Amino acid sequence: MKYQDIISSLLGYSTPLWATLVSVAFVVLTLVFSFYLLFEHLSAYKNPEEQKFLIGVTLMVPCYAIESFASLVNPSISVDIEILRDCYESFAMYCFGRYLVACMGGEERTIEFMERQGRLSSKTPLLEHGHEKGIIKHPFPMNYILKPWKLGQWFYQVVKFGIVQYMLIKSLTAILAVVLEAFGVYCEGEFKWGCGYPYMAVVLNFSQSWALYCLVQFYTATKDELAHIKPLYKFLTFKSIVFLTWWQGVAIALLSSLGLFKSPIAQGLQFKSSVQDFIICIEHRWALLLLFICMCSLQSLMR
Question: pLDDT tens across 173-219, in order?
Answer: 888 988 888 888 888 767 788 888 889 888 988 998 898 899 889 98
Question: pLDDT tens across 11-70, in order?
Answer: 445 677 888 888 888 888 888 888 888 887 788 888 888 888 888 888 888 888 888 888
In the prediction, which pLDDT does 155 show?
Answer: 92
| Global pTM value | 0.76
pLDDT(258) > 50: yes
The b/e string for 16-43 (b: 16+ C-beta within 10 A; e otherwise) is eeebbeebeebbeebeebbeebbebbee
Mean local confidence (pLDDT), 237-243: 70
